[in-house]
Structure 1
Amino acid sequence: MDKKEKLLVIIGPTAVGKTKLSIELAKKFNGEVISGDSMQIYRGMDIGTAKITPAEMEGVPHHLLDIRNPEEPFSVAEFQELVRKKITEITSRGNLPMIVGGTGLYIQSVIYDYRFSDAASDEHFRKRLEKKAQEEGNSEIHKMLSQVDPQGAEKIHPNNVRRVIRALEIYHCTGKTASQVQESQMPEHLYEEALIGLTMEREKLYNRINDRVNQMMEQGLLEEVKSLYQSGLKSCQSIQAIGYKELYDYFDEKNTLEDAVEQLKQNSRRYAKRQLTWFRNKMNVEWFDMTDVTNEAILHKKIEEISNYIEGKLEIKSNN
C-alpha cells in the first residue's frame, strides 16, 4: 500500500485567528496553504470573505483563491478534486500541504473518501426536474426537496438548482437523503492528517466578529458589494454569502444600512456557532483554545504548543 500523504488542517469559526496562526505554522513546517473556504474562490469578493492579502501571506504560497468569477457555481465535488490535486503537487515539492478554513463539508469531503458520484443516478428523472425548474421556477423543485429532506433543503439555496436536483435525485434513487447516504458510507482516511481546531470563549469570539464587521465596513465592504450589485449579479451562489446578501437587501431598499450591518453581525455570529457544532460533531479534531491569546508572547507559546502536537502527529520536524 502506498504511503499516505501528510496533511495539516486548521479549522475553526470565523474571526478566531486562523489566518495569522496558519502563516506562522507554514513558515515553521515549509507549508503551502490551500483555502478551505467555499467563498474565497471568487474574484472580487475580498473584504466580505476576509480573504488574506498578499502582504499578510508573508511569502507563503496560497492556493484556491480567486479561481472563479462570482456568477459561476462551485460544488463540493469540484473542490474535492481540485484540493486533492493540490495536495499531491505540494507534497511532490517536498512541502507540507495545509488546508485552512471554515467550510466544514468542503474540508470533510477532501480528507475522507466520500464518493459523491457513487450514489445512484437517473438521467431521465434529472432531466424532468430541470424542465420543471425552467417551466415552474426554482422554488417549485426546492419545495419538493423540503418535503423529503427539510434539513437538506435548509442548507441549499433555491437558486442553486443543480444541488437541489442532485439531492432529489439521490433520494429518488436510494430512498435516503444525501446526508443519510454519506453517513452510511464508512469513510476511509485518505491522508496522514493532523486536524487542528481553534476555539475561543463565546463572548470574546462574538465581540471579535462584531469588530471584524466594523473593520470590513471601514475597509470598503459597501463599495465592494455595490460593485457586484451594479454589475447585475443576482440570484447566484456567491451572493448568498454572509456579508453580501445583507447588503444586497440594503441596495434593494428592503433594509436600512444600519439594520443591514446589524443583520450581518448577527448572521456571522450564528454561522460561527454552526461551524463549531459541525466540526465537533463531524470531525475528530484536536482543539486549542485561543481565548487568552492577547499578545505576541502568548501567541508564540500557543504556536509552540500546536507545533509540538503537529510534530508528534505527523512525525515531522519544524524549522525552528
Structure 2
Amino acid sequence: MQIYMHMHKQTQPLLSIPPGGLTMDVSGHRWPKGKVVVVMGATGTGKSRLSIDLATRFPAEIVNSDKMQVYEGLDIVTNKITEEEQRGVPHHLLRIAHPNVDFTASDFRDMASLSIESILGRGRLPIIVGGSNSYIEALVGDEYSKFRSRYECCFLWVDVSRSVLHSFVSKRVDKMVEMGMVEEVQQLFHPNADYTRGIRRAIGVPELDLYFRTEGFLDEEARARVLQEAVHEIKANTCNLACRQLEKIHRLKNVRKWKIHRLGATEVFRQRDREADEAWEKLVARPSTMMVAQFLYSVGATRSISTTSPPTIRAAASMEAALAATH
C-alpha cells in the first residue's frame, strides 16, 4: 500500500469557553493516560466542527476516521476539512493514502493505534472523528478487545433528524457542484475505472460516469438533463449513506451497548447565521465540552475541589461552574 505521511506543526491551544470569558492556559500539563474521545454522527451533522471546538478547548489532536477522507485528492467530493477550518489543530490520517489503493478497516486500526499512542505520548488528547463507523468499530472492538483494555473512551454522537438532515445534504450537494465537484471528478475519470477500489468508491464519482461518457455526443439540453439526473442520484445516495450510518450508531448503542452520548443538533440546522451559531454552542459545543471535562477528570463527582488539588482538576471544576452559570 502506498501511503503519504504528513507532519503538522504542534499547537498549544487554550481552554476557552465562549461566551463568559473563561480562558485557561493549560498547555503545560499532561492529560490522564489512556483517555480517547470519539466523535460520531451521520454525514453532514457537524462532526468536524465539534472536533475542532473540542481541540481548541483542550490540548488535543484529531485522528480522521472517514474512509474517503483518508485518501489524497477529491477534496470537494469527500468534503475534507480545509486548512483554514483546521485552525492549526494537528490532523492525522487525512490525505495519506494513494487514490487507487484500498485502505482497509484493519489498515485504519493499525495506523490509528500508532497515532493515538503518539498523541498520548505528547501528553495530548486524541479525538477520533468521522462517519465511517466500521473503522471505529474495527479500532475499538468490544469490551474484551485490546483497545478497550488499554484505553477509556468517551463517545459523542451529533444527531440531526433525518428530514432536516436530508434537506441539508441536498443543499450541500448543490453547493459542491457550484464549487467545482463535477470538474474535480472529471480529472479522475477513466473509461476503464474500477469503482470498487480506492477513492473512486466515494459518492459523487460513479454517479457521474454516464455523464462523462456521453457528454461529447449530446446537445446542451441533453447534457444538462444527464447531469441533473447524476446530481439527483448523488443526493439520494448521500441520504441513504446517512441512514446507514445512523443505523450503525443505533446498533452500537443498543445492541453492542456502547455508552454513546447523544447531542441533538436539529435546531442548529433550522436556524441561520448568528442564531445557528448560538444554538450550536448551547446544544452541542458546550455540553460536549462539559462531558469531556467530566470524562477526563470526573469533575461531576468532585464538586468540592480544594486549593491543593492539581491545577488541571481545579481548571476542570472552574470550567464546570462557568458552563453551568451560562445556562
Name the TM tier (shorter chain): 0.7 to 0.9
Report how far residue 301 of structure 1 moved: 1.8
Q: Residue type of the partner of 2:105?
A: V
Pairing 1:310–2:306 present: no
Q: Which of 44, 52, 55 matches 2:81? A: 52
Letter in 2 for 1:274: R
Change (3 A) 1:196 1:9: same
State the identity as a percent. Answer: 34
Instruction: State whether residues 32 and 61 of structure 1, in contact with CA within 8 Å, keep that contact through their aligned partners in structure 2.
Output: yes
Distance 1:16 1:214, change over 3 A: same
Aligned twin of 1:208: 168
Whole-angstrom distance in 2 between the partners of 1:38 and 1:50 = 12
State whether residues 43 and 131 of structure 2, in contact with CA within 8 Å, keep that contact through their aligned partners in structure 1: yes
Segments of structure 1 that go 5 or more residues without pairing to the other structure are 114-184
Instruction: Tell me the CA shift for residue 233 of structure 1.
Output: 4.5
Give the conservation status (yes or no) of the 8 Å contact 2:69–2:94.
yes
AA in 2 matched with 1:237: G
Partner of 1:219: 179
Aligned letter for 1:71?
Answer: N
In structure 2, the residue matched to 1:277 is 247
AA matched with 2:187: S
Q: Deviations over 1:221-270 (max 9, x none)?
A: 10110001159643433212211111123223398110000000000001
Match among 96, 99, 104 for residue 128 of structure 2: 99
Question: Is the 8 Å Cα contact of residues 194 and 314 (structure 1) preserved in structure 2?
Answer: no
State the partner residue of 1:134: none
Alignment of 1:114-125 (within 5 A): none
Question: What residue in structure 2 maps to residue 289 of structure 1?
Answer: 264
Q: Write the deviation string for residues 19-40 of structure 1: whole angstroms up to 9, x where unpaired.
A: 1121111101111111110011
Distance of 1:237 and 1:96 partners within structure 2: 30
Structure 1 residues 271 and 48, CA, compared in 2 at 3 Å: closer, same or farther? Answer: same
Q: How many residues align?
A: 247
What residue ranges of structure 2 are gaps of 5+ in the alignment?
1-31, 216-224, 298-312, 320-327
TM-score (norm 1): 0.72
Question: Where does residue 251 of structure 1 map in the other structure?
Answer: 212
2:237 pairs, out of 237, 246, 267, with: 267
Q: Which residue type is aligned with residue 269 of structure 1?
A: C
1:9 counterpart = 2:38: yes
Query: What SS class does the counterpart of residue 188 from structure 2 fall into?
Result: helix
Q: For residue 290 of structure 1, what is the amino acid of its counterpart?
A: A
C-alpha separation in 2, matches of 1:70 and 1:237: 5
1:184-210 per-position Cα deviation (integer Å, ceiling 9, x unaligned): x95462421100001111111011100
Larger deviation: 282-291 or 30-39? 282-291
Q: Using the TM superposition, name which of 230-239 and 290-299 deviates more.
A: 230-239
CA contact (8 A) 1:48 1:216 kept: yes
Deviations, residues 62-99 of structure 1 (Å, cap 9, x unaligned): 11111111111111111100000000101111111001
Superposition map of 1:119-268 within 5 A: 186-187=144-145, 189-190=148-149, 191-230=151-190, 233-235=193-195, 236-253=197-214, 256-268=226-238
Could you tell me whether the CA contact under 8 Å between 1:4 and 1:192 is conserved in 2? no
Give me the whole-angstrom Cα distance separating, in 1, the residues matched to 2:234 and 2:54: 31
Structure 2 contact 33–120 (Cα < 8 Å) conserved: no
* Structure 1 residues 37 and 110: CA distance shift in structure 2, 3 A: same
User: Quick check: 246-255 or 201-210, which moved more?
Assistant: 246-255
Q: Distance in 1 between matches of 2:81 and 2:118?
A: 22
Question: Equivalent residue of 2:78, what SS?
Answer: coil
- Structure with greater helix share of residues: 1
